[in-house]
Amino acid sequence: MTQKYYTVTWDQLHRDSKALAWRLLDRGPYRGIVAITRGGLIPAAIIARELDCRLIESVSIVTYDEEKRGQPRVAKPPVAAGDGEGWLIVDDLVDTGTTARVVRALLPKAHFATVYAKPAGKPTVDTFITEVSQDTWILFPWDTEPQFVAPIAKTATR
């Protein structure tokens, strides 16, 4: 299957994250937001501002190394969120649902929202804004210049 790429700009990400906040407004208020690092950090900040939520926690699940998928590993659990009761989980994208299932297991009572969703991952989240095809790789603004650039830590000589 041919890989497709879809570039998301900073402006578009901001608009889509704000649209997600509008969709979530009537489902709150939330005790806090759990941002899934790293991709969920910026959408979570935008949504936190729009929902006037100041308590932010994070969870780090390592699944990807650039475009190569591996086994999910919890690098940092969301301790402050307990079982998720009254909390909102935010991520940039649900792809296959692998990361989402791990986070759901940690926070079974939380509401899970993503900005973008692929068909295989849609059933693992409660709310999303935009669906993209399963064979599309989204290039987020932090991944491009305007084409893919490896992170500095992987290319720097020491």
Q: Is 99 annotated as a binding residue?
A: yes
Counts of helices then strands in the chain (DSSP H, E) = 4, 8
Q: Is 97 annotated as a binding residue?
A: yes
Out of 16, 65, 91, 135, the active site residue is 91
What phi and psi, each to the nearest 5 degrees, are found at residue 43? -60, -35
Q: Is 98 annotated as a binding residue?
A: yes
Long-range contacts for 148-151 (Cβ within 8 Å, ≥24 apart)? 150/66
**93 and 69 in contact (C-beta within 8 Å)?**
no
> Residue 47, exposed/middle/buried by CB under 10 A (0-12, 13-18, 19+)?
buried
Mode of pairing for the β-strands spanning 68-76 and 56-65: antiparallel
Please tell me the distance from the alpha carbon of residue 40 to that of residue 30, in angstroms, as a whole number: 17
Can 135 be counted among the known catalytic residues? no
Q: Is 91 annotated as a binding residue?
A: yes
Out of 95, 126, 135, 143, the active site residue is 95
Can 95 be counted among the known catalytic residues? yes
Q: Is 93 annotated as a binding residue?
A: yes
Out of 11, 26, 92, 143, the active site residue is 92
**34 and 88 in contact (C-beta within 8 Å)?**
yes
Annotated binding site for GMP: 95-99, 137-138
As annotated, the binding site for guanine includes 95, 138
Q: Which residues are catalytic?
A: 91-92, 95
- Binding-site positions for 5-phospho-alpha-D-ribose 1-diphosphate read 38-39, 91-99
| Residues of the binding site | 38-39, 91-99, 137-138
